[in-house]
């Protein structure tokens, strides 16, 4: 089982602030993902990466950006937070060739006031 860490777990921030949600995994997985999840709703993929220097947008349009400079690290950044960004953000990772088994972090619950 993968060890995947997200910080912070909870974040309350004012409108207009720049924030970075951290995600790190220790299993050397090639693939990493960011999902957005609202209560009672399905997870929506917002970003993914196949490896270092590879990032792609997911199905759900998001104003956030991501980077993948190191295999183990996949931070998500919001340049100017808005109340509409209030949600839970889940990071996941998986290894190429495992039929897309994904391992999830505990999530960051973001509230933008």
**Closest alpha carbon to 2 in 106, 103, 110, 89:** 103
Q: Alpha-carbon dihedral of residues 77, 50, 46, 33, nearest 10 degrees? A: -80
Does residue 99 belong to the site contacting other proteins (CB under 8 A)? yes
Write the interaction track for other proteins spanning residues 70-89; mark x where CB under 8 A is met and - where it is not: --------------------
Does residue 50 belong to the site contacting other proteins (CB under 8 A)? yes
Segment near other proteins (CB under 8 A); pick from 12-20, 38-46, 60-68, 69-77? 38-46
Cα–Cα distance between 28 and 111 in angstroms, integer? Answer: 31
Does residue 101 belong to the site contacting other proteins (CB under 8 A)? yes
Task: Judge whether 13 and 111 are in contact, CB under 8 Å.
Answer: yes
Task: Judge whether 46 and 36 are in contact, CB under 8 Å.
Answer: yes
Interacting residue with other proteins among 29, 33, 85, 93 (CB under 8 A): 33
- Give me the residues that bind other proteins (CB under 8 A), please: 4, 31, 33, 40-43, 45, 48, 50, 59, 90, 92, 99-107
């Amino acid at each position: 089982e993968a060890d995947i860490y997200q910080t912070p777990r909870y974040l309350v921030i004012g409108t207009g602030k720049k924030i970075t949600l951290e995600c790190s995994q220790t299993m050397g997985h090639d693939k990493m993902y960011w999902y957005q999840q609202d209560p009672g709703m399905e997870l929506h993929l917002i970003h993914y990466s196949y490896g270092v220097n590879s990032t792609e947008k997911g199905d759900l349009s998001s104003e956030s950006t991501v980077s993948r400079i190191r295999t183990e690290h996949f931070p998500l950044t919001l340049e100017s937070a808005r109340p509409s960004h209030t949600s839970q953000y889940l990071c996941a990772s998986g290894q190429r060739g495992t039929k897309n088994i994904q391992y999830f972090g505990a999530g960051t619950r973001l509230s933008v006031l």
